[in-house]
Amino acid sequence: MKIFINHFNIEALPNVLTNLNDKLIKTETYVQIYSLDGIYQVNSSKIIKLNAVDSDISIFKDYYKNFTLIVDNSYFTEEFTNVIPPEHISTKTQKCIFELHKNSSIKLVIEASYIEDKNIFNKHNSFSIVPNNIYFEGGNNLDINDALVKEELIVFLSLLN
């Protein structure tokens, strides 16, 4: 399950990241590949084809202060492969995962893309990391109105405000 913050200003994210530094538990880097045949994810050891399983969404208007949440129960199944279609586009992505405590039922995820510096005077390849997505992850049967889950969401939303 993914929980998105409706109309979150992603450009404000670098200013609030310092509030989250002590909550970072893991960083993953991978290449996301998009083709007419599907979506693939490549990390250092494997190639995975992601197969979407769509589900309905729910909207929780003004869940906390001015934050409206969109709950998406869709998910991907993974299929190991060793073939990537020749015609595709790809993006290198860094995924940062944050938790409030070790047994949290909610994780905050911030994804960022590596953007190549196209400065012709720069002799070395350099990249900027630009945040492009933020959402919460939880188990498939998570109730976001459960008191403990809601408390965790509100803490994260307060840190992002």
pLDDT tens digits, one per residue of 38-47: 999 998 889 9
Residue 49 lies in a domain: no
Q: Is the pLDDT reported for residue 69 higher than 90? A: yes
Residue 24 lies in a domain: yes
This prediction has a pTM of 0.86
Residue 80 lies in a domain: no
Residue 122 lies in a domain: yes
Residue 122: predicted pLDDT: 57
Buried b (16+ CB within 10 A) or exposed e, 100-122: beeebbbbbbbbbbeeeeeeeee
Residue 156 lies in a domain: yes
Q: Residue 151: count other Cβ atoms within 10 Å of its Cβ.
A: 11
Q: Is the pLDDT reported for residue 61 higher than 80? A: yes
Once rounded to an integer, what is the mean pLDDT over residues 106-112? 94
* Domain boundaries, position 154: 2-28+58-74+92-160
Structural domains in the chain (count) = 1
Cα separation, 153 vs 161, whole angstroms: 12
List Cα–Cα distances, 127 to 110, 118, 134, in angstroms.
18, 9, 21
- Cβ contact 100:152 at 8 Å: yes
